Amino acid sequence: MICEREDIDYIIESPIRKSLESSFIRADNVNSSVPLNTFKKIKRFINSSTLFGDLYKDLYQIKCLVINQRKSYNKKLKILLYEKPSLIVVINDQRDLILLNIAKKIGILSVCMGWSVISSVKHYAIYRSRKYESYRIQSLPNHNKHWKLFIMKLLAPESILSFNKKLILMLNPIEVISYLINGFKFTMPGKRGSIADLVTATSIHEKTLMLKQGVSSSKIHLNGDNCNDALYNIKKKKNKIRKDLSVRLGISVNEITVLVGVPQVAGLNKKALENHKNSMENVLKTLLGFDPRLKIIAKVHPKDNIINHYYIKELSDKIIIVDRYEIIELLSLSNLYIASLSSSIIDSILLDVPVITYNLSSTELYDPSYFALFEAEKCTVQVFDEKTLASKTKDLLFNHDKRERILQMQQKRINSFAINDGKCVDRNMSTIINALKI
């Protein structure tokens, strides 16, 4: 788990003694004494009714989820009882919620390790309302939605948020009921560290968010993001990386390089996909008219297939589209970084590369109110139309005084969102080692 960001999984499957089975939650179904034919008739009647049909589906989902949670609980419990660890380290306390509940029950200390940038509960609420329609309640005439809202008001009232006259459920009511049936403690997205015994924060901003969300200050260790140590070290090799990459990508010494982060499109519907394409084309076409020495590197998102972005190649031979190189390598080669919403803006500023973030009004990728919630992006030069994008790009590429002034401003502001002293790994390891001594 501690190596999750390096794609390393620690999975142990070992034979367990039968004597341990008595401590597990029962996950099997109780046999029914009702004759099978009678049960089928009742089931058909319920499914034929709109009201009872929806209720039956919800109850069936709850039953399945309760059983699945218990199976997951028992599987993890077997491993922990067999291995007897002194400490559990997780990266995501939402995803590892059941594991943390087990640790609490059998007395194993747990640490939630922070990474990248976390957002507020409100940010997660709006994100969920945009991505999952089932989390958003636009109106209440639908009895099924009304029932879910009533349950959430009763069981988890803090999980109901209001935004733009719409109610947003932060948690799935089916999951909440299942957690309560199984006696599991749960938390909302954006409230990192509330279940674990200790939690590390990657920045002052993240620690402040945790404190506002009710996490005790004694639990929080301000350590920084391990990945930032790589930035600290790569700065020393920046010139060498720049020289090597220039040769590989065919960029001459006299050319001016602009790195553009291509927004992720995986999972988008056809309409959203077309809008992303139009927005990217507008950005790139705006940049192409500046200077014959300009070279643009379009970096595809790690979760995307480069095939979905081949249209970029057709715009100009001044654009190089890549998916192989790490963003920090490409930043070492670049004079300017342009992105929409991305945690990589922190990498850029820490590597002394100024940043422009955009949400063009002609092809908005995000609702303006949603875009405004991203605090780290406010450290950058933000633009909302092609004309401003052009003028700000010219300033940052060709006006030395403005470039230095803006870069210094960005570096000062980013201090709240990142720790870059090369000692983040040391502090995180110290937290783990000291926890083992408790």
In this structure, the answer to whether residues 289 and 433 fall within a common structural domain is: no
Full domain range(s) for residue 60:
1-12+35-118+190-225+421-438
Average pLDDT over residues 289-316: 89
Q: Find the range with the poorest average confidence among 33-37, 162-166, 256-260.
A: 33-37
Residue 393 lies in a domain: yes
CATH number at residue 340: 3.40.50.2000
Number of domains in the chain: 2
Q: Tokens 């004759």 — which residue?
A: 35
With a cut of 50, say whether residue 10 has pLDDT above it: no
* Overall size of the chain counted in residues: 438
pLDDT 10s digits, 88-128: 999 888 889 999 999 999 999 999 988 766 667 777 776 66
Distance CA 363, CA 272 (A): 10
Q: Which residue has the higher pLDDT, 126 or 17?
A: 126
Average pLDDT over residues 199-219: 91
In this structure, the answer to whether residues 293 and 326 fall within a common structural domain is: yes
Residue 401 lies in a domain: yes
Residue 338 lies in a domain: yes
In this structure, the answer to whether residues 348 and 435 fall within a common structural domain is: no
| Token digits of residue 250 | 């065919």
For the whole model, what pTM was predicted?
0.79
Residue 46 lies in a domain: yes
Q: Which residue has the higher pLDDT, 15 or 400?
A: 400
Q: Find the range with the poorest average confidence among 40-44, 345-349, 402-406.
A: 40-44
Q: Tokens 């052009």 — which residue?
A: 390
Q: Which residue has the higher pLDDT, 404 or 28?
A: 404
Q: Which residue has the higher pLDDT, 27 or 250?
A: 250
In this structure, the answer to whether residues 201 and 240 fall within a common structural domain is: no
Residue 164 lies in a domain: no
Residue 154 lies in a domain: no
With a cut of 50, say whether residue 298 has pLDDT above it: yes
In this structure, the answer to whether residues 299 and 322 fall within a common structural domain is: yes
Q: Find the range with the poorest average confidence among 32-46, 108-122, 226-240, 285-299.
A: 32-46
| Predicted confidence band of residue 53 (pLDDT cuts 50, 70, 90) | low
Average pLDDT over residues 23-49: 47
Residue 152 lies in a domain: no
| Token digits of residue 66 | 């309760």
**Bridge partner list, 248:** none
pLDDT at residue number 341 = 87
Q: What is the DSSP secondary-structure string of 294-319?
A: EEEEEEPPTTS-GGGGGGGTTT-TTE
In this structure, the answer to whether residues 379 and 426 fall within a common structural domain is: no
Burial class (CB in 10 A: 0-12, 13-18, 19+), 233: exposed
With a cut of 90, say whether residue 33 has pLDDT above it: no
| Predicted confidence band of residue 25 (pLDDT cuts 50, 70, 90) | very low
Kindly state the percentage of the chain with pLDDT values over 90. Answer: 45
Q: Which residue has the higher pLDDT, 121 or 302?
A: 302
| Predicted confidence band of residue 129 (pLDDT cuts 50, 70, 90) | low
Q: Provide the 8-state DSSP code for 219.
A: G
**Strands 256-261 and 220-222, bridge-based pairing:** unpaired
Average pLDDT over residues 181-185: 91
With a cut of 90, say whether residue 331 has pLDDT above it: yes
CB atoms within 10 A of CB 214: 9
With a cut of 90, say whether residue 289 has pLDDT above it: no
| Predicted confidence band of residue 398 (pLDDT cuts 50, 70, 90) | very high
Computed over every residue of the chain, the mean pLDDT equals: 81
pLDDT at residue number 28 = 41
Residue 109 lies in a domain: yes
In this structure, the answer to whether residues 288 and 384 fall within a common structural domain is: yes
CATH number at residue 205: 3.40.50
pLDDT at residue number 49 = 53
pLDDT at residue number 43 = 55
Q: Are 349 and 366 in contact (CB under 8 A)?
A: no
With a cut of 50, say whether residue 34 has pLDDT above it: no
Average pLDDT over residues 380-384: 95
In this structure, the answer to whether residues 379 and 407 fall within a common structural domain is: yes
| Token digits of residue 278 | 């139009």
Distance CA 288, CA 51 (A): 59
In this structure, the answer to whether residues 289 and 255 fall within a common structural domain is: yes
In this structure, the answer to whether residues 250 and 382 fall within a common structural domain is: yes
pLDDT 10s digits, 350-380: 999 999 999 998 888 887 877 887 888 889 9
pLDDT at residue number 144 = 52
Please report, for residues 207, 263, 339, 361, 368, the alpha-carbon distance to residue 278 in angstroms, rounded to integers and kept in the order given.
Answer: 38, 12, 15, 12, 18
In this structure, the answer to whether residues 396 and 247 fall within a common structural domain is: yes
With a cut of 70, say whether residue 135 has pLDDT above it: no
In this structure, the answer to whether residues 204 and 340 fall within a common structural domain is: no
